[in-house]
Each structure stands twice: as C-alpha cells, then as structure tokens.
C-alpha cells in the first residue's frame, strides 16, 4: 500500500469486526449505520457493540477488533490499519482445527492436498489460524487477494452492493457490470468485455470465441463446413482444469487421467520462436494462447522477442493471439497488464484471480473484430458479471490502476527479490531468484515443498511452482516493506533448516 494513497472521496471503510468486543467508531456519517452511530462518536471512542449500533450485520467475527469508517476523505490507510493490527487471539483450541480437518476429509471431495491449518481471519497481508497463530501471506489465495485481507475499501464496496442487489442473471441490465467493463476497455487494448467466473472459464470462453472467429468466412452453422480450428499453447503453461483449457495446459499429470482431450491442440516450446513457427500454420491455426509471464509453470517471464515474434506469426497465419493474464494481469507485474512489459498487444486477453479481490470472477477482453462474430445465445453464464462481484471489482480496479500504486508494486517486487538474494542467495541449492513485480520465484535445485512447509511453521505462507522446484511468492500487492523483509528472512532460515549450505 503506498502510504499517500487517498481512499477516494466516497470510499467507506468497514471491516475488522468482533462479537464480544467493542466497536471503535469514527466520526463519518454512514447510510448504513443507525442514527445512534451516525457521526456522533469521536475517534477512538469505544462503546459496546450492539445491534442498535448498526455494525452487526454480517461483519462480526470472533476475536477481532471492530471498526467502521464511512465516507472517509484521504485517509492514510497504512497507518490506519497498522494502528488496528493487533495480534489476534485464538478463536478456538487445537481440537477445533482437528475436527474441521477430519470433517473436511469425510465430507469434501478429496481433490486438494491442503496444508494442515484452518485459517480463521485476515487483515492486510496477515492471516491467523483458529489457534491464533499469525502468518504473513505470500500466497494470497494464489495471487487473488490483491488488496490483502479485509481491505476496508473492498469490504465497504461489497457490503454496499450486498445491501442493494447481489444477483440478477444476465437476463437484465445492471450498472456495476457496465461500470467494470468500461474500466477494463478504456484502460486496455480491448473493445469489449465478456464476464465469467474463473480463470479456466475465461480461457474456455476465449477458445469458443477463437473457434467461431475462425469460422467467420463460412456459414458457422453448417456442420460440414471446415475452418482453421487448431489452438497452440506452450511448455509449462497453465490455462485451467476444464476440458478445453485443460487440453491447452502442459502438465501431463493434469491431463492424462481425463483422456481423451479436446482434439486440435498443438504444443510448442515457451520462449522458442522456431518451435512456435512449426505449429502456427495458415489455414490450420485459429489461436495461440500464451502467458506473458508464466506463474504456475515456474514464474518465467516471456522474452520480448518471443511475444513480438508470436504476434508476427499469428498475423501471417491469420490466427488470433490470446494472452492468458489470469495470474500476471491487473497490477501483479507492476504494470496494469503483464503484456505492457513487452509492448505487444493481443487480440484477446483472459483475466480472473485478482479482479474482484477475492470474489469469483473471470473476464475475456476482446478486440472488435473478434467481438463481431459473437451473437446473443453463443455463450453465457448464470452468475457472470453479477452486480455484487462487479461493484467490488470496480473498487479493486480503481485502487490498482492508480499509477502510483503500480509503481509501489514494482518497488516492492525489487525489494523482495533483493531481500531473497540476500537471505537465500548464498545457499548452493538456490539457482535463481526471478520474476517481475510481485510475481516472484526462487528456483531451487531440489523440491521446494520442504522449504514451504518449514516456512509455514515459522509463520510464512508460500507456494510452489514449476516442477515443484520453485518457491512462488505472490503476496497481496499491499504488502509492507517490513513484511517483505520478514518473509525473506524466514524463507532463508527455512531453506537453511531443510538444506543447510
Ligand atoms: C495463467 C492461469 N490461467 C488460468 C488459470 C485457471 O484459473 P482458475 O483456477 O480460476 O480456473 C490459472 C490458475 O492458476 C492460471 O494461473
């Protein structure tokens, strides 16, 4: 969080609630707070938290301090949150976490290898488990919680819209969807937005758009008519788990149990134009899917020559260039869009993870020539672009798109890489510290899982990537310098513990 960021004129703050705890209320009038609360209580005044104060609606969590700030003007949010960020007490004893994990095993389909902790609440870049242990969150829900946990602007937008209208389906118009689309289009290469709910759905939609675009010269409704339909993706890529996106995804262990895959997919080597040229073929290829910076694949940026070359190959072959910016888009690289690092525009771009700061959302941004082929009924989703998600996403977008915020992401990324080189670089198991912005990877010459587990025991949440040999760090974009330094230090200690130099 850049310290000078104003909250914005009407940005209210609502978060950090508690049950048996006092309400700390600030002197800003709120449309949601009853007259007993409205503008009457001065800063730091404490009163018992009661139903009458209007702060109970869905915002109270055990073990938390409670705060409501509405219509705040130019508040220094960092200082504001620091004041409130007190160690959180345990909400339960150890037996509670054990019971949750046992019930999870019994009732939830076992498709995840979860870490053995039960998270209870978060604030900024910190989360606490149910036993009161504090963690600095360098995972951020896999690059999702861009504004951290319980960001007051985010929470306020969510509550504000929940109070009005959460969901309508796409049978009707709603303003928040249009507002979000307007932001995405006016701040990118694109002319249109399509909304969905996840990253894999965004890629699934882009596959359909590409296939229909490629059939534009023929009668698209003639089942006997053929057109270019092949899709190209790259080694180490990750595009999602549903059948279309999965067919583009690299890792065989994700694909093989679900064979046969969608036909017509070609694989080339990432950052290797010669390899790409062999499979991007005029009359065959409909679209090329590429991540400007690979995340899951190991935190690997594309080279500028590669993306420029792909653009040329696509233009020559009459194919679409599609960027998957589900992980690297929207500020994570220190640019609004990852591809701005390269100055090469796509025909389509897929987005998801950070877009609504923790609510499920996905989007495809399209150039007009692609948008032109899609007609009502060609694609859709019940939940997509609902007012709750879109209104909240507008708030996330407005914070991230601020150039000074993006500059701060860049500076934090530099700081994190420098700190990691300092604390881990001397260990012979570290081959490279790399990445852009706050998408950072530490390449090891061994499996990274042991280090990630040891770091977790010491209060740092991180994830792996690549072949399991990369420590991936994708913290909230609002992480503080002190948290970065602590994280790097603890990761250094965790590595020494697991693999002494
Ligand atoms: C680049 C990229 N594309 C697509 C996806 C799939 O997104 P989701 O898990 O929301 O379906 C991911 C998820 O990690 C991703 O990193």
pLDDT in tens, 291-339: 999 999 999 999 999 999 999 999 999 999 999 999 999 999 999 999 9
Q: How many angstroms is it from 283 CA to the middle of ligand 1? A: 29
Strands (E), 291-368: 293-294, 300-301, 320-324, 348-351, 362-366
379 versus 13: the higher-pLDDT residue is: 379
Q: How many angstroms is it from 240 CA to the middle of ligand 1? A: 5
- Model confidence at 6: pLDDT above 60: no
Please choose, from the candidates 81, 2, 71, 61, the residue with its C-alpha nearest in 3D space to the C-alpha of residue 31. Answer: 71
Distances (CA, A) of 484 to 27, 135, 156, 321: 33, 12, 27, 36
What proportion of the chain, given as a percentage, has pLDDT over 90?
A: 80
Residue where the block lists tokens 């004041």? 83
What was the pLDDT predicted at 220?
82
* Mean of pLDDT over the chain: 86
Please choose, from the candidates 500, 477, 149, the residue with its C-alpha nearest in 3D space to the C-alpha of residue 328. Answer: 477
Quick one: which atom of ligand 1 is closest to the CA of 325? 1
What was the pLDDT predicted at 93?
87
Summarised one tens digit per residue, pLDDT across range 144-188 is 999 999 999 999 999 999 999 999 999 999 999 999 999 999 999
Q: How many angstroms is it from 248 CA to the middle of ligand 1? A: 12
Q: Residue 77 — very low, low, confident or very high, per pLDDT cuts 50/70/90?
A: low
- Model confidence at 379: pLDDT above 50: yes
- Model confidence at 33: pLDDT above 50: no
Task: List CB contacts of 231: < 8 A, sequence separation 6 or more.
Answer: 207, 210, 247, 248, 264, 265, 266, 285, 286, 287, 288, 289
**Tokens standing for 22?**
């006092």
Quick one: which atom of ligand 1 is closest to the CA of 201? 11
- Model confidence at 80: pLDDT above 60: no
| Rounded Cα–Cα distance for residues 32 and 160 (Å) | 8
Q: Give the residue extent of every domain in the chain.
A: 13-91, 94-149+403-498, 165-400
Note the CATH number of domain 94-149+403-498. 3.90.1150.10
What was the pLDDT predicted at 426?
95
Q: Residue 85 — very low, low, confident or very high, per pLDDT cuts 50/70/90?
A: low
- Model confidence at 64: pLDDT above 80: no
**Tokens standing for 264?**
């017509």
Q: Residue 283 — very low, low, confident or very high, per pLDDT cuts 50/70/90?
A: very high
| Rounded Cα–Cα distance for residues 355 and 344 (Å) | 22
Q: How many angstroms is it from 459 CA to the middle of ligand 1? A: 26
Q: Which of 140, 296, 338 to mutate to test the pocket of ligand 1 (most atoms within 8 A of CB)?
A: 296
- Model confidence at 376: pLDDT above 50: yes
Please choose, from the candidates 240, 208, 245, 453, the residue with its C-alpha nearest in 3D space to the C-alpha of residue 327. Answer: 240
Q: Residue 92 — very low, low, confident or very high, per pLDDT cuts 50/70/90?
A: confident
Distances (CA, A) of 67 to 80, 124, 412: 11, 14, 28
**Tokens standing for 191?**
């002319």
- The three-class DSSP label of residue 116 is coil
The dihedral built from the CA positions of residue 42, 47, 51 and 52, taken in this order, carries a sign that is: negative
Whether residue 100 contacts residue 107, with contact meaning beta carbons closer than 8 Å, is answered with no
Q: What is the CA radius of gyration of the chain?
A: 24
Distances (CA, A) of 454 to 181, 184, 253, 390, 461: 42, 40, 26, 38, 10
DSSP H or E stretch at residue 434: strand 430-436
What proportion of the chain, given as a percentage, has pLDDT over 70?
A: 82
Q: How many angstroms is it from 108 CA to the middle of ligand 1? A: 22
Strands (E), 296-380: 300-301, 320-324, 348-351, 362-366
Quick one: which atom of ligand 1 is closest to the CA of 198? 10
Quick one: which atom of ligand 1 is closest to the CA of 142? 14
What was the pLDDT predicted at 318?
98
Whether residue 325 contacts residue 349, with contact meaning beta carbons closer than 8 Å, is answered with yes
| Rounded Cα–Cα distance for residues 33 and 88 (Å) | 26
Helices (H), 55-112: 77-84, 94-107
Q: How many angstroms is it from 40 CA to the middle of ligand 1? A: 46
- Model confidence at 121: pLDDT above 60: yes
Closest CA to ligand 1's atom 4: 239
What was the pLDDT predicted at 76?
57
Quick one: which atom of ligand 1 is closest to the CA of 295? 16
| Rounded Cα–Cα distance for residues 212 and 364 (Å) | 15
What was the pLDDT predicted at 91?
79
Q: How many angstroms is it from 96 CA to the middle of ligand 1? A: 32
Q: Which fold has domain 165-400?
A: 3.40.640
- Model confidence at 66: pLDDT above 50: no
Closest CA to ligand 1's atom 8: 199
Q: How many angstroms is it from 251 CA to the middle of ligand 1? A: 13
What region, left, alpha or beta, does residue 459 occupy, with left being phi > 0 and alpha being psi -120 to 50 degrees? left
What was the pLDDT predicted at 81?
59
Closest CA to ligand 1's atom 16: 327
What are the backbone dihedrals phi and psi of residue 357, each rounded to the nearest 5 degrees, phi first?
Answer: 60, 20
Closest CA to ligand 1's atom 3: 239
- Residues contacting ligand 1 via CB (< 6 Å): 142, 198-200, 203, 238-240, 291, 295-296, 324, 326-327, 352
Q: Average pLDDT in the 52-59 region?
A: 30
Q: How many angstroms is it from 250 CA to the middle of ligand 1? A: 13
Strand partners, 265: 231
- Model confidence at 496: pLDDT above 80: yes
Among the residue ranges 46-55, 91-100, 415-424, the one predicted with the least confidence is: 46-55
Please choose, from the candidates 15, 257, 48, the residue with its C-alpha nearest in 3D space to the C-alpha of residue 156. Answer: 15
- Model confidence at 99: pLDDT above 90: yes
Quick one: which atom of ligand 1 is closest to the CA of 294? 1
DSSP H or E stretch at residue 472: strand 470-473
Q: Which of 142, 238, 359 to mutate to test the pocket of ligand 1 (most atoms within 8 A of CB)?
A: 238
Task: List CB contacts of 375: < 8 A, sequence separation 6 or more.
Answer: none
Q: Which of 242, 245, 338, 352 to mutate to test the pocket of ligand 1 (most atoms within 8 A of CB)?
A: 352
61 versus 344: the higher-pLDDT residue is: 344
Q: How many angstroms is it from 75 CA to the middle of ligand 1? A: 34
């Amino acid at each position: 969080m850049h310290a000078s960021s104003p909250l914005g004129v009407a940005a209210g703050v609502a978060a950090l609630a508690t049950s048996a705890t006092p309400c700390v209320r600030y002197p800003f009038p709120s449309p949601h707070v009853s007259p007993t609360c409205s503008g009457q209580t001065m800063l730091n005044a404490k009163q018992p938290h009661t139903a009458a104060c209007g702060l109970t609606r869905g915002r109270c969590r055990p073990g938390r301090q409670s705060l409501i700030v509405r219509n705040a003007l130019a508040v220094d949010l960092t200082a504001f949150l620091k004041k409130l960020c007190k160690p959180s007490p345990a909400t339960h004893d150890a037996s509670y976490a054990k019971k949750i994990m046992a019930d999870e095993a019994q009732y939830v389909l076992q498709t995840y290898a979860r870490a053995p902790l039960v998270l209870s609440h978060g604030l900024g870049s910190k989360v606490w488990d149910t036993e009161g242990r504090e963690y600095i969150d360098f995972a951020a829900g896999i690059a999702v919680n861009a504004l951290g946990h319980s960001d007051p602007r985010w929470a306020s937008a969510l509550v504000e819209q929940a109070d009005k209208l959460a969901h309508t389906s796409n049978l009707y118009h709603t303003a928040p969807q249009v507002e979000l689309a307007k932001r995405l289009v006016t701040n990118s290469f694109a002319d249109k937005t399509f909304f969905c709910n996840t990253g894999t759905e965004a890629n699934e939609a882009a596959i359909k758009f590409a296939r229909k675009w490629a059939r534009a010269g023929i009668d698209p409704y003639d089942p006997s008519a053929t057109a270019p339909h092949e899709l190209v993706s790259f080694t180490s890529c990750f595009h999602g788990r549903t059948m279309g996106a999965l067919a583009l995804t690299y890792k065989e262990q994700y694909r093989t149990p679900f064979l046969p895959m969608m036909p017509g997919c070609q694989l080339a080597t990432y950052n290797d134009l010669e390899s790409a040229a062999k499979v991007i073929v005029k009359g065959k290829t409909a679209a090329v899917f590429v991540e400007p910076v690979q995340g899951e694949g190991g935190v690997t940026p594309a080279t500028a020559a590669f993306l420029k070359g792909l653009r040329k190959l696509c233009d020559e072959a009459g194919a679409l260039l599609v960027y998957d910016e589900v992980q690297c888009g929207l500020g994570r690289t220190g640019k609004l869009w990852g591809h701005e690092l390269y100055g090469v525009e796509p025909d389509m771009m897929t987005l998801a993870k950070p877009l609504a700061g923790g609510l499920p959302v996905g989007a495809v941004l399209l150039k007009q020539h692609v948008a032109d082929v899609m007609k009502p009924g060609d694609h859709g989703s019940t939940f997509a672009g609902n007012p709750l998600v879109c209104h909240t996403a507008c708030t996330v977008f407005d914070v991230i798109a601020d150039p000074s915020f993006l500059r701060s992401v860049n500076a934090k990324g530099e700081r994190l890489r420098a700190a990691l080189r300092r604390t881990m670089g001397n260990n012979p198991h570290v081959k490279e510290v790399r990445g852009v912005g706050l998408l950072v990877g530490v390449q090891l010459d061994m499996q990274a899982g042991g280090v990630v587990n040891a770091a977790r025991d010491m209060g740092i949440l991180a994830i792996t990537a690549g072949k399991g040999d990369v420590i991936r760090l994708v913290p909230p974009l609002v992480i503080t310098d002190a948290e970065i330094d602590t994280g790097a230090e603890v990761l250094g200690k965790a590595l020494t513990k697991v693999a002494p130099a």
